[in-house]
């Protein structure tokens, strides 16, 4: 549900403006109306500094240091500069180390030798050339015609030296040029380089706990300062800059607290119910079950202020769809156990909510597991629990997936009708209701084609289809002429028919995912049972294979069971429910202290 907002306008003497904002920030209930996106130089610098601190905190958290927190005498900015300097220096050392490793790799095949020896040989009039070539390119006659010493052969490459006097021998091989540094020198430089990198690693590890705490505090302080400075820019100066006018929105449930404070401070203000033309922010208020699904709603977008919050409407379907894709009693219990143990370790309410949602998905998987009769890939119909299985074959699973799709689409059509009636009056409800009757009759006829026994209600479909068509053709554009309604209705009818069949076929994915997960579980069990025939180690291999196989199947099922219901929700259901967005999210000015609702 979208909670109603009140629009407030404050009239302030310019010298009282900043004091007013400081108190308002402490209150933390008003969503300011933005009049500009301009940023002052100090605001821009602070925002960049917040990014630098956030990047440093992210770096240290990924470092995973377990060192004890040590107090630091440095200010946050000085510590950040020192850490940045250390990280830059470490990056330079790592680049240099990479160059040294490459030079060592180049020289290693030649081994350790003394450059003075080459000079001594050349002093006697004998020239020395270093060559490399692929082993299959090295010609044996080179050894007969030249003074060649093969030094090494590494990964199919031959390293050899040619001694000659006079004209240089013409060999089809690559020449090798040394950098006038020995292998020992490079190895020593690399060792020193790596020692310096380790020193910096140790410094960062010991600094991490204090830096994370210090930087997070500084991010909070700077965020408050930036929020305040940005708020000072949102007021509109009037009366030759003597008066500042500021606007904002507050949820109705928080209005009493705001009014009490305004009366205490003696602030001049005007309040009125927010209208859609004001573009008020959207704040969702739902019960505990629907609230679990709000992060999913926000993954797409929030609705406009005058729209319906569809979260409570899609939540039961989403839960059921996940259970359909992971219809296995054992898998559901595993989801519930994971949610229980991981939820206890969650540190934030948001994470606890996510794990609770996982637990809800687990319950849905258990229910659907009983419905289709599957536990850890085994078929309950082959056990004494056979009588408990409701859906007994793939044809019934297929029909059930289409039935769920039809129910959700029809439900979305009704939601659209109620929403339009609320926005424009009862006549705007008639066309969606006609669409609902028409699609309901198509659903009944389609069920008959799938060999579902609809003989009891089939004769009454004409009672639905003709009134539905009449409402759809005559009331699709209330307030306009009959001719325009009929012409518009024909186009709407075309879209309804083609869209309905396209939408309903999308729900086949539930059948495909549910059946494929069950088949994969069955295959894992079949292969695993073959290991039991192996003496002694057989049971151990069977256990490990079953754990790994079903863990993979659960992971695949969890991923597909979340992604595909997302598609069905945001595409099929949202379209038929007439969703419109994006709405502006409610962000109160100042979050450090809120009025209790």
- What does each of the 597 residues of the chain score in pLDDT, given as a tens digit? 999 999 999 999 988 999 999 999 989 999 999 999 888 999 999 999 999 999 999 999 988 888 888 788 889 999 999 999 999 999 999 999 999 999 898 888 888 877 788 888 888 889 989 999 999 999 988 998 899 999 999 989 999 999 998 888 888 899 888 767 788 889 999 999 999 999 999 999 999 999 999 999 999 889 989 999 999 999 998 888 889 999 999 999 999 999 999 999 888 999 999 998 999 999 999 999 999 999 999 999 999 999 999 999 999 999 999 999 999 999 999 999 999 999 998 888 889 999 999 999 999 999 999 999 999 989 888 888 888 888 888 888 998 999 999 999 999 999 999 999 998 899 999 999 999 999 999 888 888 887 777 788 888 888 888 989 999 889 988 888 888 889 998 998 998 888 888 899 999 999 999 999 999 999 999 999 898 888 888 899 999 999 999 999 999 999 999 999 999 999 999 999 999 989 999 999 986 444 443
Q: Among candidates 267, 281, 265, 239, which has minimal Cα distance to 10?
A: 267
pLDDT at 480: 86
C-alpha span between 587 and 31 (Å, rounded): 6
pLDDT at 591: 62
Cα separation values, 560 from 128, 134, 154, 318, 563, Å:
66, 50, 48, 12, 5
Read off the tokens for 403.
């039935």
Phi and psi at 373, nearest 5°, equal: 75, 55
The number of residues in the chain equals: 597
C-alpha span between 574 and 566 (Å, rounded): 11
Residue 303 and residue 2 in contact, taking contact as beta carbons nearer than 8 Å: yes
Phi and psi at 220, nearest 5°, equal: -60, -45
Residue 103 and residue 186 in contact, taking contact as beta carbons nearer than 8 Å: yes
pLDDT at 179: 66
pLDDT at 254: 93
Q: Among candidates 421, 422, 417, which has minimal Cα distance to 472?
A: 417
Q: For 254-328, where are the alpha helices, taking DSSP H only?
A: 255-265, 288-291, 294-300, 311-325
**Residues facing residue 9 across a β-bridge:** 247, 270
Contacts of 462 (CB under 8 A, 6+ apart): 441
Read off the tokens for 335.
């989801």
pLDDT at 459: 82
Q: Among candidates 578, 273, 587, 234, which has minimal Cα distance to 435?
A: 578
pLDDT at 593: 42
Contacts of 299 (CB under 8 A, 6+ apart): 566
C-alpha span between 260 and 274 (Å, rounded): 20
């Amino acid at each position: 549900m979208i909670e109603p907002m009140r629009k407030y306008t404050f009239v302030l003497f310019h010298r009282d403006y900043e004091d007013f904002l400081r108190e308002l920030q402490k209150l933390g209930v008003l969503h300011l109306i933005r009049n500009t996106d301009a940023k002052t130089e100090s605001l821009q610098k602070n925002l960049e500094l917040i990014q630098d601190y956030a990047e440093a905190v992210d770096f240290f958290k990924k470092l995973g240091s377990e060192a004890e927190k040590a107090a630091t005498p440095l200010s946050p900015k000085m510590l950040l500069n020192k850490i940045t300097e250390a990280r830059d220096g470490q990056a330079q050392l790592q680049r240099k180390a990479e160059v040294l490793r490459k030079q060592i790799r180049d020289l290693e095949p030649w081994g350790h030798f003394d450059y003075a020896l080459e000079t001594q040989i050349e002093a006697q009039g004998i020239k020395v050339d270093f060559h490399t070539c692929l082993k299959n390119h090295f010609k044996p006659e080179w050894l007969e015609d030249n003074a060649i010493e093969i030094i090494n052969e590494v990964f199919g490459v031959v390293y050899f030296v040619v001694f000659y006097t006079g004209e240089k021998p013409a060999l089809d091989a690559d020449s090798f040029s040394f950098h006038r540094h020995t292998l020992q020198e490079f190895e020593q430089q690399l060792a020193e380089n790596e020692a310096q990198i380790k020193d910096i690693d140790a410094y960062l590890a010991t600094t991490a706990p204090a830096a994370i705490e210090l930087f997070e505090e500084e991010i909070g302080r700077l965020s408050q300062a930036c929020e305040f400075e940005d708020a000072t820019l949102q007021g509109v100066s009037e009366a030759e800059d003597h008066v500042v006018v500021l606007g904002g929105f507050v949820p109705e449930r928080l209005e009493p607290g705001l009014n009490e404070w305004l009366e205490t401070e003696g602030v001049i203000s005007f309040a009125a119910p927010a209208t859609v033309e004001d573009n008020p922010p959207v704040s969702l208020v739902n019960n505990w079950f629907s609230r679990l699904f709000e992060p999913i709603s926000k993954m797409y977008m929030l609705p406009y202020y005058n729209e319906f919050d569809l979260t409570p409407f899609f939540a039961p379907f989403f839960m059921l769809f996940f259970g359909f894709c992971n219809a296995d009693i054992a898998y559901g219990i595993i989801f519930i156990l994971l949610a229980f143990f991981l939820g206890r370790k969650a540190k934030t309410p948001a994470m606890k909510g996510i794990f609770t949602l996982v637990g809800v998905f687990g319950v849905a998987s258990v229910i659907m597991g009983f419905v289709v009769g599957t536990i850890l890939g085994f078929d309950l119909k082959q056990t004494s629990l056979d009588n408990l299985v409701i859906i007994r074959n793939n044809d019934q699973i297929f029909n059930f997936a289409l039935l769920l799709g039809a129910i959700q689409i029809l439900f979305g059509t009704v939601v659209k009708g109620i929403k339009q009636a609320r926005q424009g009056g009862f006549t705007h409800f008639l066309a969606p209701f006609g669409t609902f009757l028409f699609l309901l009759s198509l659903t009944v006829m389609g069920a008959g084609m799938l060999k579902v026994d609809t003989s009891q209600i089939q004769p009454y479909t004409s009672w639905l289809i003709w009134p539905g068509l009449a409402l759809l053709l005559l009331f699709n554009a209330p307030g306009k002429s009959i001719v325009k309604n009929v012409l518009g209705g024909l186009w709407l009818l075309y879209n309804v028919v083609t869209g309905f069949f396209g939408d309903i076929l999308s729900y086949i994915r539930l059948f495909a995912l549910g059946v494929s997960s069950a088949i994969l579980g069955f295959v894992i069990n079949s292969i695993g049972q073959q290991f039991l025939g192996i003496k002694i180690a057989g049971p151990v291999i069977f256990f490990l294979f079953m754990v790994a196989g079903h863990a993979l199947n659960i992971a695949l099922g969890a991923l597909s069971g979340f992604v595909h219901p997302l598609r069905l929700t945001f595409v099929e259901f949202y379209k038929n429910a007439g969703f419109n967005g994006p709405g502006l999210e409610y962000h109160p000015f100042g979050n450090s202290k809120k009025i209790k609702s």
